[in-house]
Each structure stands twice: as C-alpha cells, then as structure tokens.
Homo-oligomer: A and B are copies of this chain.
Amino acid sequence: GWGDLGAFGEPSKETPNLDQMAAEGMLFLDFYTASPLCSPSRAALLTGRLPVRNGFYTTNGHARNAYTPQDIVGGIPDSELLLPELLKKAGYTNKIIGKWHLGHQPQFHPLRHGFDEWFGSPNCHFGPYDNRERPNIPLYRDWEMLGRYYEDFKIDLKTGESNLTQLYLQEALDFISKQQASQQPFFLYWAIDATHAPVYASKQFLGTSQRGLYGDAVREIDDSVGKILRHLQQLGISENTFVFFTSDNGAALISAPKQGGSNGPFLCGKQTTFEGGMREPAIAWWPGHIPAGQVSHQLGSVMDLFSTSLSLAGLQPPSDRQIDGIDLLPVILQGQLIDRPIFYYRGNELMAVRAGLYKAHYWTWSNSWEEHGKGIDFCPGQSVAGVTTHTQEEHTYLPLLFHLGRDPGEKYPLSFASEEYQQAMEHISGLVQQHKDTLVPGQPQLNVCDQAVMNWSPPGCEKLGKCLKAPESDPKKCSWPH
C-alpha cells in the first residue's frame, strides 16, 4: 500500500532501503495501478494496456473484480504484445522472478510471451491443498516445475515462515551477475508476493517489525531491494540500469491488521476504485541520470513502465493498437509534467476518472451487503455516506466529484451546484467521451473456470513424480462476488 513505506509516511519507518532509494531517485506520489487487484494489474503492466483492452476482465457480472485463480481457463492472449517480447528486438535478455499470474495453461507460459527465464509460480501462493479437490500450486524454473508450494517450497501458515523471498532475491542477484558478466542488456521483472496473504517472511525477519508479520514481510522486501541496488552498484552497472519500484494494488485491508498493510490517508483498499485501492508507492532510481531527492506529482500508471522501458531501449510502442501507458522519461529526467487522466475500472465498467486533482466517480461500490454481513470488508472502520456504498450506485448523470488535494481521503464530495464542479466536470466529461469513443474491449479472459485446467500435471511433473490426475472438464462461468 501507498502508506507502507517510510518515505510515504508509514509510522514505524521500517523501510530504510526503499527510503534511501527514494532519496537517491524520484518519488512518485500520484502513481496508480490499472486495476484494484493483482492479476489484471500485472497484465496491464506488461502490455501497457488497460485490462479492458488486454482481456483481463470479466463480463459475468457488472463491475466485478476478477483475477487468475487455478481454475481459470483464460490468460494472456497471443495477440497481446508483452514488454519482454518487444525488448527482445533490442537484444535484451528477459527474466521473470516470482508471480506470473497471466494464465497457467501451457499457451500462457511466460517463456511463450517473451521471457527467456522464469523462476516462480503461475499463481499466488494459496494453499495448502489436498491434491485431490485442488492441486498445490507449482513453482517453475523456466519450462518445468521444480516442485509445489507447501510440499517442496514450504510456507508455514502458523508461524508465517517461508524463505521464498530469499530464493527470489538470490535468483535476481545471480541473473544480474550473469548479465553483467556477459555484457548483455537485461530486463528483470522481480515480481515477489510475500505481502500477499498468506503473508510470509524468512526466519531472520520474523518478529523483527513493529508491525507484525506483514511488517516482517515488508522489511524483507525492503532489505532485498537494498541488496539488489547495492549489487548493481558493486558490479558497476547502476548508472546503466533503470530501476522502478511499485506495487500491483493497494493494501488489502480485508487482511488487516495481522496480514494487511496501510494505504496512508486514502480511502479503503484493494478491490476498490477508491484511492486506497489503486494509488501506489512508486520510486524511480537511476544514479547519474535521475537527480537525487526528486518528488513528482505526475499522474503515473504501471502501464507507463511498458512505454518507458521501450523508450529506454530505443524502441517504439506498437502502433497497431491503443497503448495506455506513456513514456515517463521526460518526467523522470527533465522534471516535466504530462497532462493525462487516470481511469479506474472494475471489470469492464469505468468506475472513476482522475484529471489533475479532481476525481469523478461514475459508479461506487465496495462489496455487497450480503458479503459485508459475512465480514468481508474492503473499508474497515471507514464509512462515507453515499461513497463507500454496498450496492452498485450509478452516478453517471451526476458524478461524485472530489478534490484530492483538499480531500485525499474522498470524504467530501463537491457540491453539484458549485462553479468548481461545473468546470471540472466539463473537462472530465470530454476525457471520458473520448476514452469511450475509442475503446475496443478485448475478449474477456476471466469468464470461464474449469477444474480440469488447474495445475494437475505441469511440465516436469513426471521427473518429480508429482503428476496428478485431472478431473473431467466441466467449464462454468466463474463466480466473482465483488
């Protein structure tokens, strides 16, 4: 979450490495994901396109969040061009370490979408499963599985102990060393997931945070980022390596306080299109190029990392499709500010739009009263009348408008009758019209679920004796409750 780093005001200040990264680089205060949850957000990062374009959404219900569980049938379409596919053309070696989450059927394998190497998993580290109803989730090295979570890669749900982040760190350091030794350019997508429930940390970090297990996990990530940056410096390639730190969604307040982080002063968290769901910590670091101690108010997006990375590699983004990301280099290197809106989606519904300091909500909801009654709460302790609604409230004719400078917490809608409202909405309405007029939705990938497609027998399972028998195929509409 935005509020989890010392540099962003976390009251325990336990992220000295990330804070130093910020002090040596550029801090983005207004940086966004493309979705309030992980899988669509990562698809957007790698394609530079909104989930509604790249297919990472559902039409099973109105304004529903959907992601990539084990039984999802869809994944990243072949027609999408991923950042590593494009970087290959400039001679880059591409590696993903950690969570892929763009589909786990063979055709969605990251090495079929531009990556040269992979150490990690197609899914979150949920489990343990019984391998009958549901298989444990595999962890891959490149084309083949190395084992499964909870079996070969331990996560102790009782203590929260797991050494996965250390494995991911070592993979990163080794990959960087190899690339430096061979003098080859590289793209490393270090997609760790220790702060995703069930939260975990290595033994050496357990109990070291004031913040509980979640804080331990944050501290381990912070420590790892520090080690990666120092490694780049020690290898003498830091001035030749652009590093960006951000997250794929806001802190999941539903997991708080034991496994949930902080969204600082912002409303609600993961799963919502309030600021707490989509505004992220973000830091750009490139010694010798980015002046130290910069703070940017540029409205940024994870999708910009697509365009910015291409720009760094001297490549052009594809011209045959709409790209939502923008090249941030003028912002990062020359301190420019580029006027651009931020679109907040749930499924294929445009929930809200930010332009400048104004944010208009066209639809509001957190989750249903029914779910809420069962204790599922994306906004614990917070309740803003008419804003954090538990029914889907339409405001398309008279959007709720907030000024995020005066009211970062989205608590005080502007008066519909005010001149300020009229002027801001006139501007935003034009942006929305333009956006909708040119929108070509992708084929929705997150509609169909089937137990048969789960990770029963990933490649390499024979060698390990870990092949499981898949049940009969029985495709169904996936259920997305919120």
Report the separation of the CA atoms of residues A12 and B209 in the bound assembly, to the nearest whole angstrom. Answer: 28
CB distance from A24 to the nearest CB of B (A): 13
The stretch of A63-71, A313-321, A362-370, A405-413 that contacts the partner chain? A405-413
Complex A-B, nearest 3 residue pairs according to Cβ-Cβ distance, in ascending order: A9-B9, A210-B405, A257-B407
| Partner of A9 from B8, B210, B212, B407 at Cβ < 8 Å | B8
Chain B residue at minimum C-beta to C-beta distance from A414 = B257
Cβ-defined contact, A412 with B11, below 8 A: no
Question: What does the 1/0 interface line of A203-215 toward B look like (CB < 8 Å)?
Answer: 0000001111011
A256 within 8 A of B: yes
B295 contacts A408, C-beta separation under 8 Å: no
A432 contacts B by Cβ under 8 Å:
no
Min distance, Cβ A335 to any Cβ of chain B, angstroms: 14
Contact B381 A214 (CB under 8 A): no
Q: Which residues of B contact A295 (CB under 8 A)?
A: 6, 13
Copies of this chain present in the complex amount to 2
Q: Which residue of B lies closest to A262 (CB)?
A: B265
Asked if A80 is at the interface (CB within 8 A of a chain B CB), the reply is no
Q: A29–B3 Cα gap in the complex (Å)? A: 14
User: Cβ of A408: which chain B residues have Cβ within 8 Å of it?
Assistant: 11, 262
Contact of A29 among B11, B256, B405, B409 (CB under 8 A): B11
Q: What does DSSP make chain A's interface, helix, strand, loop or mixed?
A: loop
Q: Judge if A267 is at the interface, Cβ distance under 8 Å.
A: yes
| Minimum distance in angstroms from A71 CB to a CB of chain B | 32
Shortest CB distance A388–B (Å): 8
Q: Is A471 an interface residue (CB 8 A)?
A: no
Known: A382-B381, A411-B380, A412-B256. A12 touches B405 (CB 8 A): yes
A383 adjacent to B383 (CB under 8 Å)? yes
10 of the cross-chain contacts (CB-CB < 8 Å) are A3-B9, A6-B295, A11-B266, A212-B406, A257-B403, A257-B411, A262-B265, A262-B408, A381-B382, A381-B409
Instruction: Please encode chain A, from 262 to 276, with 1 for each CB lying within 8 Å of some chain B CB and 0 for all others.
Output: 101111000000000
In angstroms, how far is the closest chain B Cβ from the Cβ of A84?
33
The reply to whether A267 and B215 form a contact with Cβ atoms under 8 Å apart is: no
Q: Is A258 an interface residue (CB 8 A)?
A: yes
Does B406 contact A215, Cβ atoms closer than 8 Å? yes
Bound complex: CA of A295 vs CA of B210, how far in Å? 14
A403 / chain B contacts, CB cutoff of 8 Å: 212, 257
The answer to whether B9 and A267 touch across the interface, beta carbons within 8 angstroms, is no
Within 235-267 of A, Cβ neighbours of B (below 8 Å) are at: 256-258, 262, 264-267
Contacts of A215 in B (CB 8 A): 405-406
Partner of A211, one of B264, B297, B405: B405
Closest B residue to A211 by beta carbon equals: B405
Is A337 an interface position by the 8 A CB rule?
no
Q: Does residue A333 face the partner (Cβ distance < 8 Å to B)?
A: no
Tell me the smallest distance from the CB of A246 to a CB of chain B, in Å: 15
Report B-chain residues with C-beta under 8 Å of the C-beta of A29.
11-13
- Contact pattern, A 365-388, Cβ under 8 Å of B = 1, otherwise 0: 000000000000000111110010
